[in-house]
Structure 1
Amino acid sequence: MNNLRLLTGLLSVVLLSGGVRAYGQSVITLEEIFKTAEAHSAQLRPSFTAQTESEHEMRVARAGRLPDVNASLYVSYIGDGFTTKRDFSDWQKAPIPHLGDGVALNVNQPIYTGGAVTNSIGLAKLKSTAARYATDLQRDNIRFRLAGFYLDIYKYTNLRGVMESNIAAAAKVLKEMQARHEQGTVLQNDITRYELLLSNLELQLVRINNTLDILNTHLVTTAGMPEGTLVVPDSTILTRSLPKEGAEWWQQEAVGNSPMLSLARSSVDISRKAESLVRSERLPKIGIQASWTIDGPILVEVPPINRNLSYWYIGIGASYNLSSLYKSNRSLAKSRAATKRAVEELDAARENLSMAVSADHVHYFEAYEELKTQQKSVELAERNYRTISTRYSADMALITDMLDATNAKLEAEQQLVNARINIIYYYYKLLFTTGKI
């Protein structure tokens, strides 16, 4: 058999058989994974529950506008009394009817609470809004995490295809070398070298498969997909046309859409509303009061009258907590400090967001430059491969030179695919940072 022709055929197999393999599984797009996570992710459900809880808290706060109604009923045993002179002499027994009973109904409708009820409702609304922003932030975190798993699966699947091709090629070359060794044209040292190479490649393949299993498990579990699902990335994701807007456009999008920034703004609003709630403690409370009572016996008469006495009233009552004049100052100072801290945290969040957007934008366009570089590397690797192949045909290069050239070409092609994936990754990173993922 012509050795050059055999080697050329093996190298062609290596070059043509790489890439992503689906292994008979259906392709799942990243958008489909996002939708699945929205409905089934266990890591997202607590955020939805917290949002529901905040809505119930708002209903509780609104109930503060309703009247307070108290009803009481009692039955008692009353012992006999006694009377004395003012110097406690001339003790005489005073029989009293022993059965005591009473019914009372009190109604208090708040009219003016100094803003306490209104501020409580407003505070509950702000907390509900903050819970919604927190849910958006958690959703974005999960989506970005899923995008990372998804793109890593794409990378390692591509690497697995390259590794399998290298293993197949190395095994065939090793078989040919063993045949030539029997003919006395190849040294045992060369065979040992290729056996070591094949062993290392097989170990790398095991590690790649293990990494793919881990990534697939993390993605499936995080997205809430059925256990045992094998995610096969959509290869068309590399052909998408992505926007190339300037940094200023992304900064504006971040200011308007970032849930992290919206959550920081909500913290400021909540602190200010809490401050108003503390101020309301210094104001009087006014309400309509109504009461009806019936009880007996009538003990204010001597001797007691064994009858029930019923009376009712309606009017306007006002109350003022005098201790708030000296107690609320400390609470108000604390609330003002909390508001100041929330404002400072908002300013820090703006700065951090601006820096993150700038860095992600730089990396995004840097990924395009990396793509150009890798495209050039593929071109150079292919040129080098053709040169080495020609020299090998003229017996001016060794077989190791040919394999090195082939590996360099395969590595360049793999890095080219990874460079395209990096563009997708940094695009989703920008979407995550700006709250548009």
Structure 2
Amino acid sequence: MKHLLSKKLQLQHLILLLLFFAHVAGFAQDDSSGQLKTVTLDEAIQLGILNNRQLKMAHTDVAIAAENISQAKIAKVPRVGLSGGYTYIGDPKLYEGFYENNITVDYFNHRAFANIVSTMPIYGGGVINSKIEQQKLIGEMQESVARMTQADVKNAITQYYFTLEKLYRQIEVTKQNIINTDLRISQLKSRVENGQNLKSDLIRTELQQSNFKVSVFRNTNDIELVSNYLDILIGLPANTVLKPQLTENAILLEEVNLQKSLTEAYQNREEIKRATIGVALSKSTLDITKSGFRPNINANLILNTEYPAQWPNYVNIINYWAAGISLNWDISSFYSVKHRVRGDKLQIEKSNIALDATKDQIDKEVKTAFVKYAESKRNIMVYKKDVELALSNYKIVKSRYDNDFALISDMVDAELQLNNSKISLVNANLDLIIQYYSLQFAMGKL
């Protein structure tokens, strides 16, 4: 009898061992069913800088601004125009009275002319230089926009990257619980057959395992969605499923303090630089408007040739040149220019207010990111303690359950608490990294 029991126990252990390895192989197959691409954070960021469409558009705007600067500088270059013409004139008729008699005149039929006209601005009230400076400021603005877009892209990449890592680690924790509950279900089936446990105990455990599988399924779907978002950001095919590749020591979190963070944010944030350029742009617009009070002076040069020289009496060619200075001063526009000047001054005041508002917004963002980062640090300590307590409770309940002093419901509750505390700790560790990068972004260092 003892020999039969021993063989039965050995068979049960063999079945449990086979089930365990079958589940492990099944989970490994699930992980490899899709085409996974492992990627480091640096690789993802470099791909984003090279391929992101928003960033490409921002760089194109920079190139357009550079062309506009060159176009503005052309206003200083002399303008040269070439014109010419040829006319064939038929013999005219002279009429007497009201079309009573006519006489045909032997007229010279050919007439031609050509001239070259050059104009060079000498003084335009400063408008040319002001427009060149304005285009340079717009170029600086576009460069700032490109840098800000790059920072936004890098920030989005880090957010999605560590969200992916969070999901993968949640799946690891939950899959281990599925394996554990699968082994317990096999044991319960034998105990139910022997009358040692109720059918409801088996059903409750199977329900717990089903919830774990649903959680894995949900996280797997989230991985595909987040991978798709990240694919779009970094320019990979949209169906590429990404898996972060990082080590615990790959990311070194620096110690930061609030005042230093604010100081660096004021120095680095592109929003402040853009707002400052906005003030300068408003001032350049005022300078252009004020040029309306001043005259325009141009130097002119003309080279001309005509045939015939004095039409139609002298059939010969005349060439001449002329040089001079012209002045244009629109006195009547003073009244309207005065009102535009007032409007431009108000725009400068508005730009200064916008600069202060930008500083206030950055101040709020830095403080929020700093508080969240400090909070994430504290959360890790709390969740570590929760895992220790949940693990201790699980061991106690399992020991009591194995000795028939605890119900299966107690075991299920203990296991759920341990699972939730482990996942909370995983999330807290990665949230700390995410909040660190959010703080770096708020400081303008990303």
TM-score by length of 2: 0.85
Instruction: Tell me the matched-pair count.
Output: 420
The equivalent residue for 2:5 is none
Q: Does the aligned pair in 1 maintain the 2:394–2:414 contact within 8 Å?
A: yes
Q: Does 1:379 align with 2:388?
A: yes
Q: Does 1:65 align with 2:76?
A: yes
| Equivalent position to 1:292, from 300, 303, 318 | 303
The equivalent residue for 1:361 is 370
Q: Which amino acid aligns with 1:326?
A: Y
CA deviation after TM superposition for structure 1 residue 169, in Å? 2.4
Q: Does 1:392 align with 2:398?
A: no
Secondary structure, counterpart of 1:43 in structure 2: helix
Q: Which amino acid aligns with 1:344?
A: I
| Equivalent position to 2:328, from 319, 334, 350 | 319
CA deviation after TM superposition for structure 1 residue 326, in Å? 2.6
Q: Deviations over 1:82-130 (max 9, x none)?
A: 999xxxxxx9987652322110101112222211111111011101100
Q: Does the aligned pair in 1 maintain the 2:82–2:117 contact within 8 Å?
A: yes
Secondary structure, counterpart of 1:278 in structure 2: helix
| Range 244-253 or range 190-199, more displaced | 190-199
Alignment of 1:424-435 (within 5 A): 424-435=433-444
The equivalent residue for 2:50 is 39
The equivalent residue for 1:209 is 220
Alignment of 1:15-414 (within 5 A): 27-78=38-89, 96-226=107-237, 228-237=239-248, 240-298=251-309, 304-414=313-423
Q: Distance in 2 between matches of 1:287 and 1:384?
A: 93
Q: Distance in 2 between matches of 1:166 and 1:131?
A: 53
CA deviation after TM superposition for structure 1 residue 178, in Å? 2.2
Q: Distance in 1 between matches of 2:45 and 2:242?
A: 13
- Percent of paired sites with the same residue: 24
Q: Distance in 1 between matches of 2:207 and 2:426?
A: 28
Q: Distance in 2 between matches of 1:92 and 1:357?
A: 96
| Range 235-244 or range 179-188, more displaced | 235-244
Residues 150 and 415 of structure 1: is their aligned pair in 2 closer, same or farther, counting only changes over 3 Å? same
Q: Which amino acid aligns with 2:433?
A: I
Secondary structure, counterpart of 1:288 in structure 2: strand
- Structure 1 residues without counterparts, runs of 5 or longer: 85-90
CA deviation after TM superposition for structure 1 residue 44, in Å? 1.2
| Range 335-344 or range 420-429, more displaced | 335-344
Q: Which amino acid aligns with 1:369?
A: R
- Structure 2 residues without counterparts, runs of 5 or longer: 1-7, 96-101
Q: Does the aligned pair in 1 maintain the 2:266–2:272 contact within 8 Å?
A: yes
Residues 114 and 96 of structure 1: is their aligned pair in 2 closer, same or farther, counting only changes over 3 Å? farther
Q: Which amino acid aligns with 2:213?
A: E
CA deviation after TM superposition for structure 1 residue 27, in Å? 4.4
Q: Deviations over 1:41-61 (max 9, x none)?
A: 222110010111101111111
Q: Deviations over 1:287-340 (max 9, x none)?
A: 3211111123345x7x64333332111233322223432332333233223222
Q: Does the aligned pair in 2 maintain the 1:238–1:421 contact within 8 Å?
A: no
Q: Deviations over 1:204-242 (max 9, x none)?
A: 222111110011111122111355544222342576431
Q: Does the aligned pair in 2 maintain the 1:171–1:198 contact within 8 Å?
A: yes
Secondary structure, counterpart of 1:44 in structure 2: helix
Secondary structure, counterpart of 1:70 in structure 2: strand
Q: Does the aligned pair in 1 maintain the 2:36–2:240 contact within 8 Å?
A: no
Q: Which amino acid aligns with 1:313?
A: A
CA deviation after TM superposition for structure 1 residue 371, in Å? 1.2
| Range 131-140 or range 27-36, more displaced | 27-36
Secondary structure, counterpart of 2:54 in structure 1: coil
Residues 168 and 394 of structure 1: is their aligned pair in 2 closer, same or farther, counting only changes over 3 Å? closer
Q: Which amino acid aligns with 1:56?
A: E
The equivalent residue for 1:87 is none
RMSD of equivalent CA atoms: 3.0
Q: Deviations over 1:359-392 (max 9, x none)?
A: 1111111111111111221222222223323433
